[in-house]
Amino acid sequence: MSERLSLPPYPRGWYAVALSHELTSGAVLTRKYFGRELVLFRTESGRVCVSDAYCPHLGAHLGHGGVVEGEAITCPFHGWRFGADGACASMPYGERVPQAAKLAIFPVSETNGVVHAYYDPDGQAAPVCWIPDFDASRWTPTISLEVEVGTHPQEVAENAADFAHFQFIHATHMVRAVEGPAFEGPVYSVTIESDPEAVHPEYRLDGAGVGMHQVATVYGPGLTIAVTTGPDQVTSWARLYVTPIDGERSCMRGLCSVEMFGEDEAACTAYNEMLAKEVFKQWGADIPIWENKRYRAEPALNEMEGAVAVFRRFMRQFYPRDFVSLH
């Protein structure tokens, strides 16, 4: 927890740690998330493993020289092999496997081309992954962006509840909620639409402003999905995955698709390429705010900003009880 970002750095939740195409069979990837070094590998059968990077034997980093063989990863230092469950599968010498010879393993779920790992700072058992598997067949192939941002996952996800920022940061009309905000368990949702008259006359945009209807859904601290229909009636699907690296930085992955609006797949793909550039530009406009703002535990909200208070209540479930009791 830092002075600027006065939140526990790693709220419990399911987080994106890789895109599926990055983790081919036999591949070993190194990552740093949750303040620790990790390795990701895919076994011969296709099973994905996310584990602590350091061998429990004598501490070699499995991401530097470790090799996947069948259903296990082999340590480059002494040849000990560890399965996707973390257990030592074999040793090239000796007969008794030490009890401590076990990799720390993270629960994993792979959906919609993304590998998710569950992190709980208290080490509690993982719940069923709350990120649903969507039918991607009616959407164009995704276009993705990855960037490191100096912020906390909650600060990014909270944009879904901050309706006023759409006009001042993204140059759209002011928006209002037409359904929600509400949350059930680890899922928060709100439906918004353009409302030019919600802001004082001197701030209203003319006809050039972007009108929209959007369903925003937040799946725990790690994923926000915005399904947006614009004035041209084309619907886009933007996914923003945020995974904490340490107490000050997060990895932000954005994926954009559009719903197929005709038989011409090339035209739909071209539209998605154009739209993705604009979406990524808009996310880029948020970054200087996120990287320089201070988290206010007790913000001075006005009567139109109740969604932020609802979102803050939603987020409490992902933090330790001792933190929640103080906020």
| One domain, residues 110 and 236 | no
Model pLDDT, residue 197:
81
Do 115 and 166 fall within a single domain? no
| C-alpha–C-alpha distance, residues 72 and 85, integer Å | 9
Classify residue 126: in a domain, yes or no: no
Domain boundary among 90, 119, 148: 119
pLDDT one-digit tens code per residue, 99-146: 999 999 999 999 999 999 999 998 899 999 999 998 888 899 999 999
Q: Does the pLDDT at position 326 exceed 60? A: no
Give the pLDDT confidence of 149-189 residue by residue, as tens digits.
999 999 999 999 999 998 889 888 888 999 999 999 999 99
Amino acid identity for residue 14 in this structure: W
Same domain, 166 and 103: no
Same domain, 184 and 275: yes
Q: Tell whether 213 and 279 lie within a shared domain.
A: yes
pLDDT above 60 for 208: no
**How many degrees, rounded to 5, is the angle at CA 188 between CA 326 and CA 252?**
85
The average pLDDT across 29-50 equals: 97
163 plus 275 within the same structural domain: yes
Model confidence pLDDT, tens digit, residues 235-257: 999 999 999 999 899 999 999 99
Q: Which amino acid is at 86?
A: G
Q: Are residues 244 and 204 in the same domain?
A: yes
Would you place residue 207 in the very low, low, confident or very high pLDDT band (cuts 50, 70, 90)? low
Residues 281 and 235 grouped into a single domain: yes
148 and 113 part of one domain = no
Q: Is the dihedral of CA 285, 308, 191, 207 positive or negative?
A: negative
Is 327 domain-assigned? no
Spell out where 120-234 has E strands: 143-149, 175-184, 187-194, 213-219, 223-229
- pLDDT for 261-285, tens place per residue? 888 889 999 999 999 999 999 999 9
Give how far Cα 152 sits from Cα of 49, 222, 287, Å: 25, 10, 11
Answer yes or no: do 147 and 263 share one domain. yes
Residue 210 has pLDDT above 80, yes or no: no
Count of C-beta atoms within a 10 Å radius of residue 152: 28
- Residue 5 to residues 251, 253, 286, 313: CA-CA distances in angstroms? 16, 20, 16, 18
Q: Look at residue 259 and tell me if it is in a domain.
A: yes
Q: Are residues 115 and 140 in the same domain?
A: no
Exposure string of 179-200, with b = 16+ CB inside 10 Å and e = fewer, is ebbebeebebbbebebebebbe
CATH number of the domain residue 81 falls in: 2.102.10.10
Cα(124)–Cα(121) distance, integer angstroms: 8
Look at the block and give the residue holding tokens 């140059």. 171
Domain termination residue (choose one: 63, 92, 119): 119
Burial of 257 (0-12, 13-18, 19+ CB in 10 A): buried
Overall number of domains in the chain: 2
Residue 177 belongs to domain spanning = 136-322
CATH of the domain at 267: 3.90.380.10
Q: Domain check: are 86 and 191 in the same one?
A: no
pLDDT tier for residue 312 given thresholds of 50, 70 and 90? very high
Q: How far apart are the first and last CA of the chain?
A: 14
Predicted confidence (pLDDT) per residue in 54-94, tens digit: 999 999 999 999 999 999 999 999 999 999 999 999 999 99
pTM for this prediction: 0.94
